[in-house]
Amino acid sequence: KKKKRFQTSCRIAIHRHCVLCHKAAFSLPRPHGKSFAHRGELKQAKRIVVKLGSAVVTRGDECGLALGRLASIVEQVAMLQNQGREMMIVTSGAVAFGRQRLRHEILLSQSVRQALHSGQNQLKEMSVPVLEARACAAAGQSGLMALYEAMFTQYSICTAQILVTNLDFHDEQKRRNLNSTLQELMRMNIIPIINTNDAVVPPPVPSSDLQGVISIKDNDSLAARLAVEMKVDLLVALSDVQGLYDSPPGTDDAKLIDMFYPGDQQSITYGTKSRVGIGGMEAKVKAALWALQGGTSVVIANGTDPKVTGHVITDIVEGKKVGTFFSEVKPAGPTVEQQTEMARHAGRALSSLLPEQRGEIICCLAELLTEKKDEILSANKRDMELATASGRFSQALIDRLSLSTAKLNSLAIGLRQLSVSSRDSVGRVLRRTRVANNLELEQITVPIGVLLVIFESRPDCLPQVSALAIASGNALLLKGGKEAANTNKILHQLTQEALSIHGVSDAVQLVSTREEVEDLCRLDKMVDLIIPRGSSQLVREIQKAAKGIPVLGHSEAIDIAVSVIIRDSKCDYPAACNAMETLLIHKDLLRTPLFDQIVDMLRAENVKIHAGPRFASYLTFSPSEVKSLRTEYGDLECCVEVVDSMEEAVDHIHKYGSSHTDVIVTENEETAEQFLQQVDSACVFWNSSSRFADGYRFGLGAEVGISTARIHARGPVGLEGLLTTKWILRGEGHTVADFSEQGNMKYLHENIPVPQGSFM
């Protein structure tokens, strides 16, 4: 039996002494026959084929291999193999490697002959004849495999070479032998490296595929056929383009297709094939669709881009939005890219409305919040029940998720305030300058463009942020947490209903597809500003993930210091970003009745106290010592620490604080004023609760968050923070040459008074 298993026309060579390696634990293989419907499911892929196109493996001169690129690919494949996955590689490159070797041998031979015949060191210019591809393949196969062997040896992984031809798949016995061989290799934790046997294969000729079977014409079709034969979960096809485009790459308006469905094949056109290889994008798509039909998921991506080559394969397996993902399941709604385009288009119409019309939309939304409160609260109840039943969410997060009649009424009041204040926002003239005679310059307020707001738990921020976007004429893309899906859905429907009274319902879009936050942060050509609403961890993750898009980061909370103010700051709404997290106590207040009163109040409110290092040193039996003085608890917990002076408190705030909100409680006016001036935070208060740090309470009507940045917008970001400016110049045929030394005009730069409430 063992002998028969290896009787096949495939050429097999197992490299280096093979030792059975212990595989990392991995889930059992899923039943084959149905491909993954969404990118996020690719994490479950156990058996993976990586196809390396000629353009990926070879150098730009087509004579030799791209060693650095190949090394990074090998590293990723090895990492996935060591995770317990079963990896196979279908590779090109033998022809290029052989061409390099043969050219070197020919040039060396010619130089020796010339030296012998001429008897002198001066050599004539030598030319290399056209090399036949099959001869190059024969010369390059062993070297290519030796290279793979050396690279994988660095990761203690064995490799085996398998060379096949089209006939090996058409003969039933050979197919079974090949399948058995591959199964045995993978069982021994060996990575098969497969290639067409280009040394003997005939040149590619047009031929019809057999019914239901794809012919092996190139490595694309080989990879697809192999994937189906071996019941592979995922085929990653790497080429020299980002993926599949709706028109040839490089042409005007060509857009990368994120997900491709079999029914979309007629809607695209193909460009020319890559600089090397015998396939092309059309061949890749055909092979991918054939593999997809056989139950294998496929991603076509760029394996040559130095910015992504080092992680392209692992990113795909992690479900990140890389290349083109082939899926048999087409979502009912538009893609996030399409939603962004729809929002931008409708946003331009929104910004062109009269201020009164935008105000009418906001008023309509406020009315809908009260009229439809029963439906909103019913949807919110479902979310609360699901979140509680899942057991995955903290009480603080569930508190953020909760809506009530009082909250909805408060929201409606804030939106009505905003509808009034927004009447003098977009198009307001900020500055007017007479540059020269009959040449005037204006600076006016204009919308930023497309805003992306990512928020956790709190569905009440959806109508707030939507109203601010409407008031400022900005398009809006919203991404809420799964835990608030039902509430967000109805609130978004009401928002679009309000927008529809002036025909701009698409200006606010809710992302309901399975988009990862990191993928949304890569929409740098479509989104102008990202605003995260949630924990400090969320803000940090988005700031890290954002690629070329500004992030308006609101950060966590607060350092404070007496009883009623402290209670309100900590206990009124502990999950809020403006709740107290750290209480700094002057050392002279320790062991005083006031200090005891504060501690008793916190205990009565069930607030868990974490002792700072200095506070712990004063106590015989201290509460649990704080792990970090920068912790954001978001719950009935806080840190208590001791300081020697106001100056030390300020230093502590600047070292450990978040620049969000800081409060001093004191009767000394001079000390308070010093604190207000010295603390560099977005909000600094004296003898008042930190909970006042809110756009609604500041009279802004609503807010998108608290910005701790130092440019553009800081503190509660309301309507003004969502506007930018535009310069308008009105002239009468003026040219810069008119103002040169030889010209007849001079710059005046006179400020022209701008009447209050002036619009362009």
Please, are residues 488 and 383 in contact by the beta-carbon 8 Å criterion?
Answer: no
The pLDDT assigned to 2 comes to 40
User: Looking at 337-341, 391-395, 467-471, which range is the least confident one?
Assistant: 391-395
- pLDDT cut 70: percent of the chain above it: 83
Model confidence at 278, pLDDT cuts 50, 70, 90, reads very low
CATH of residue 204 = 3.40.1160.10
What DSSP element (H or E) covers 48?
strand 47-52
Does residue 12 have a pLDDT over 60? no
- Nearest CA to 458 out of 516, 529, 393 is that of 393
Residues 531 and 581 in one domain: no
What does the buried/exposed string (b/e) look like for 51-87 if buried means 16 or more CB atoms within 10 Å of the residue's CB?
bbbbbbbbeeeebbbbeebbebbbbbbbebbbeebbb
- Nearest CA to 486 out of 356, 385, 619, 411 is that of 385
- Nearest CA to 134 out of 100, 158, 98, 106 is that of 98
Give the span between the Cα atoms of 127 and 110, in whole angstroms: 9
Q: Provide mean pLDDT across the span 328-333.
A: 78
The pLDDT assigned to 24 comes to 39
Residues 393 and 426 in one domain: yes
Last residue of a domain, one of 326, 349, 378: 326
The DSSP annotation for 315-378 comes to HHHTT---SEEE-S---SS--HHHHHHHHHHHHHHHHTS-HHHHHHHHHHHHHHHHHTHHHHHH
Residues 321 and 361 in one domain: no
Residues 598 and 490 in one domain: no
The answer to whether residue 740 sits within a structural domain is no
Residues 237 and 311 in one domain: yes
The pLDDT assigned to 385 comes to 95
- Nearest CA to 561 out of 537, 521, 526, 588 is that of 588
Classify the C-alpha dihedral 453-457-461-463 as positive or negative.
positive
Q: Provide mean pLDDT across the span 18-33.
A: 43
User: Looking at 202-211, 234-243, 406-415, 698-707, which range is the least confident one?
Assistant: 202-211
Helix (H, G, I), strand (E, B) or coil at 383: helix
Does residue 211 have a pLDDT over 50? no
**What average pLDDT is seen over the chain?**
82
Residues 519 and 457 in one domain: yes
413-455 per-position pLDDT tens digit: 989 989 987 777 788 888 888 878 887 878 788 899 899 999 8
- pLDDT cut 90: percent of the chain above it: 38
Model confidence at 747, pLDDT cuts 50, 70, 90, reads confident
The answer to whether residue 755 sits within a structural domain is no
Cross-sheet strand order for the sheet of 259-260: 11-15, 158-164, 190-196, 86-91, 47-52, 234-239, 297-302, 324-326, 259-260
Give the span between the Cα atoms of 86 and 45, in whole angstroms: 9
461-491 per-position pLDDT tens digit: 999 999 999 999 999 999 998 899 999 999 9
Does residue 129 have a pLDDT over 80? no
The pLDDT assigned to 40 comes to 87
* DSSP class of 164: E
Does residue 27 have a pLDDT over 50? no
509-541 per-position pLDDT tens digit: 999 876 778 888 888 889 999 998 877 778 888
Helix (H), strand (E), coil (C) string for 204-244: CCCCCCCCCCCCCCCHHHHHHHHHHHCCCCEEEEEECCCCC
The answer to whether residue 320 sits within a structural domain is yes
Model confidence at 4, pLDDT cuts 50, 70, 90, reads very low
56-67 per-position pLDDT tens digit: 888 776 666 788
Q: Which residue has better confidence, 175 or 555?
A: 175
Residues 317 and 394 in one domain: no
Residues 260 and 378 in one domain: no
Residues 536 and 643 in one domain: no
Give the span between the Cα atoms of 46 and 233, in whole angstroms: 6
The DSSP annotation for 505-546 comes to GGGEEE--S---HHHHTT-TTT-SEEEEES-HHHHHHHHHH-
Residues 173 and 234 in one domain: yes
The pLDDT assigned to 62 comes to 60
Give the span between the Cα atoms of 505 and 507, in whole angstroms: 6
The answer to whether residue 19 sits within a structural domain is yes
Does residue 647 have a pLDDT over 60? yes
Last residue of a domain, one of 269, 302, 326: 326
Q: Which residue has better confidence, 567 or 708?
A: 567
The pLDDT assigned to 32 comes to 55
The pLDDT assigned to 710 comes to 63
Residues 479 and 591 in one domain: no
CATH of residue 437 = 3.40.605.10
What DSSP element (H or E) covers 381?
helix 373-390
Q: What crossing angle do the helices spanning 172-187 and 219-229 adopt, rounded to 10°?
A: 80
Q: Which residue has better confidence, 474 or 759?
A: 474
Please, are residues 155 and 51 in contact by the beta-carbon 8 Å criterion?
Answer: no
Q: Which residues contact 177 (CB under 8 A, 6 or more apart)?
A: 4, 5, 6, 7, 8, 10
The answer to whether residue 94 sits within a structural domain is yes
Last residue of a domain, one of 643, 665, 693: 693
The answer to whether residue 558 sits within a structural domain is no
Question: 179: which 2 tokens?
Answer: 């399948």
Does residue 265 have a pLDDT over 80? no
Q: What crossing angle do the helices spanning 94-118 and 133-153 adopt, rounded to 10°?
A: 110
Does residue 409 have a pLDDT over 80? yes
* DSSP class of 128: P
Number of independent structural domains in the chain:
3
Q: Which residues contact 711 (CB under 8 A, 6 or more apart)?
A: none
- φ, ψ dihedrals at 759, nearest 5°: -125, 160
Give the predicted TM-score (pTM) of the model. 0.68
The answer to whether residue 704 sits within a structural domain is no
Q: Provide mean pLDDT across the span 144-156.
A: 92
Chain-centroid distance, C-alpha 626: 33
Does residue 207 have a pLDDT over 50? no
Residues 342 and 293 in one domain: no
CA–CA distances in Å: residue 552 to residues 153, 533, 542, 546, 690: 47, 10, 10, 11, 21
The pLDDT assigned to 545 comes to 83
CA–CA distances in Å: residue 258 to residues 12, 154, 597, 643: 38, 35, 60, 55
Q: How many CA atoms lie within 13 A of 238 on its CB side?
A: 30
The answer to whether residue 747 sits within a structural domain is no
Model confidence at 52, pLDDT cuts 50, 70, 90, reads very high
CATH of residue 586 = 3.40.309.10
Domain span at residue 55 reads 9-326
